[in-house]
């Protein structure tokens, strides 16, 4: 029996919470008539994470400073645990309810399910007890490009995923590019690292709102050793990763990891970021990297920097760009948050993210609800 994971709660108090930190209209909602199994005595909070990271203490419901006692950190779409690469705490997480019905057999979002789902309709997933997870996760580095750009194939060869692309923001933060990976060849069993790559960029120079109409290519430089290589798409040249501060995209391999990085967050000191992946059939029709072709709305805030995370990157809380609209739809997954993975008596919480748009309609204001729960084994 795993003593760490057998944590039981005292019932949450049904009290009203004052607005705090970056939130508004924050309260603990009333009880559902379901015998106490789900929907009862939960906290609900809107967090204004549009401009800066907000740090939440789940026990108090208060937004605190970055050096305070926090469990979760929010910055627009990003959610972090206070552990590993994100903080000096011991917070761990797991998925309590996958909400698999929001996706088809191929893992693609079910449009009708996402569009038709409501916070009230998905409240019954917020139960008072959950089985002990098979494993817990702490935070690590998360790249804005994600890991959906490559695939592990026959013979241990990693190659590019075809027919997708990305929008990329430069290190300076004032120019952009449309990017696709035409070739990525990493024969993992040869021991020589990445053998070849070809990334194609169409640049939107600073001060403009239109892609240039011509492309520049980033291929492995002369004397490439199979590790890291960097590209400045404004200049259209490969640059030295160690000495350049203006690189925009880094492709590489180290240890057991291969990656694409933007010059941002834990990856670099710049203001870079990325948006995607987007099907190439759709992305190839874009005339701007900062304006939505269909709606005329700005895409600037949709770019994500490299960050730290783990659970919420591996099991995202939303689907993006449904119906060709650059908006987010929550999948109402339930996450389990262990407030101290080394203390068997520390509380564990169930948490859902139920909205991303504030009462003013602006993005970057995640609304969450959570409650203290207990964990059960098959013996109980």
Q: Which of 263, 352, 267 is nearest to 312 (CA)?
A: 352
pLDDT at 30 over 60: no
DSSP code of residue 282: H
Report the pLDDT averaged over residues 312-321: 90
DSSP code of residue 12: P
DSSP code of residue 131: E
DSSP code of residue 58: T
pLDDT at 15 over 50: no
Q: Are 289 and 211 in contact (CB under 8 A)?
A: yes
Specify the range with the lowest mean pLDDT, choosing from 22-36, 64-78, 88-102, 138-152.
Answer: 22-36
Give residue 31's pLDDT.
38
Confidence of residue 32 (pLDDT cuts 50, 70, 90): very low
Decide: residue 316, CB within 10 A, 0-12 exposed, 13-18 middle, 19+ buried: middle
Long-range contacts at 314-319 (CB < 8 A, ≥ 24 apart) = 314/137, 315/95, 315/98, 317/79, 317/353, 318/77, 318/353, 318/356, 319/102, 319/109, 319/114
Residues with Cβ within 8 Å of residue 191, at least 6 apart in sequence = none
Report the pLDDT averaged over residues 1-30: 33
pLDDT at 13 over 50: no
Domain boundaries, the chain: 3-141+306-376, 153-302
The model's pLDDT over 95-151, given as tens digits with 9 standing for 90+, comes to 999 999 999 998 899 999 999 999 999 999 999 999 999 999 988 888 999 889 999
Q: What percent of the chain has pLDDT over 70?
A: 89
- Overall pTM surpassing 0.75 (yes/no): no
Report the pLDDT averaged over residues 165-189: 97
pLDDT at 370 over 80: yes
Q: Are 164 and 277 in contact (CB under 8 A)?
A: yes
Report the pLDDT averaged over residues 350-379: 93
Strand partners, 151: 159
| DSSP string across 347-374 | -EEEEEEEESS-TTS-SS--EEEEEEEE
pLDDT at 23 over 60: no
The model's pLDDT over 332-349, given as tens digits with 9 standing for 90+, comes to 999 999 999 999 999 999
Give residue 2's pLDDT.
34
Give residue 6's pLDDT.
34
Q: What percent of the chain has pLDDT over 90?
A: 76
pLDDT at 360 over 80: yes
Specify the range with the lowest mean pLDDT, choosing from 90-94, 152-156, 183-187, 376-380.
Answer: 376-380
Comparing 29 with 136, which gets the higher pLDDT? 136
Distance, in Å, from the CA atom of 201 to the CA atom of 204, rounded to the nearest integer, reads: 10
Report the pLDDT averaged over residues 57-76: 95
Q: Which of 218, 230, 228, 221 is nearest to 179 (CA)?
A: 218
Comparing 209 with 24, which gets the higher pLDDT? 209
């Amino acid at each position: 029996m795993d003593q760490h994971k057998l944590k039981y709660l005292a019932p949450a108090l049904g009290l009203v919470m004052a607005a705090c930190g970056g939130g508004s209209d924050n309260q603990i909602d009333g009880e559902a008539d379901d015998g106490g199994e789900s929907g009862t005595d939960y906290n609900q909070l809107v967090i204004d994470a549009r401009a800066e990271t907000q740090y939440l203490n789940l026990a108090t419901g208060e937004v605190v400073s970055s050096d305070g006692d926090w469990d979760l950190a929010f910055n627009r779409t990003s959610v972090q645990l206070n552990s590993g690469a994100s903080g000096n705490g011991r917070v761990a997480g797991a998925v309590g309810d996958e909400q698999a019905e929001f996706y088809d057999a191929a893992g693609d979002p079910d449009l009708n399910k996402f569009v038709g789902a409501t916070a009230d309709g998905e409240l019954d997933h917020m139960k008072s007890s959950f089985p002990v997870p098979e494993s817990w996760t702490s935070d690590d580095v998360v790249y804005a490009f994600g890991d959906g750009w490559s695939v592990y194939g026959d013979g241990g060869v990693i190659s590019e995923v075809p027919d997708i692309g990305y929008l990329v923001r430069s290190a300076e933060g004032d120019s952009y590019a449309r990017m696709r990976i035409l070739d990525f060849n990493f024969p993992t069993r040869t021991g020589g690292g990445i053998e070849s790559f070809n990334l194609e960029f169409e640049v939107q120079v600073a001060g403009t709102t239109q892609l240039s109409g011509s492309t520049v290519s980033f291929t492995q430089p002369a004397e490439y050793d199979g590790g890291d290589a960097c590209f400045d798409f404004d200049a259209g040249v490969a640059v030295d990763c160690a000495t350049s501060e203006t690189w925009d995209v880094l492709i590489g391999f180290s240890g057991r990891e291969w990656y694409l990085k933007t010059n941002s967050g834990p990856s670099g000191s710049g203001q870079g970021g990325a948006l995607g992946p987007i099907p190439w059939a759709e992305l190839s029709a874009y005339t701007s990297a900062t304006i939505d072709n269909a709606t005329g709305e700005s895409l600037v805030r949709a770019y994500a920097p490299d960050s730290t995370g783990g659970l919420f990157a591996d099991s995202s809380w939303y689907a993006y760009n449904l119906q060709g609209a650059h908006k987010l739809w929550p999948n109402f997954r339930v996450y389990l948050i262990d407030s101290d993975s080394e203390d068997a008596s520390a509380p564990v919480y169930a948490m859902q993210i139920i909205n991303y748009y504030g009462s003013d309609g602006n993005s970057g204001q995640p609304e969450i609800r959570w409650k203290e729960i207990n964990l059960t084994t098959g013996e109980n």
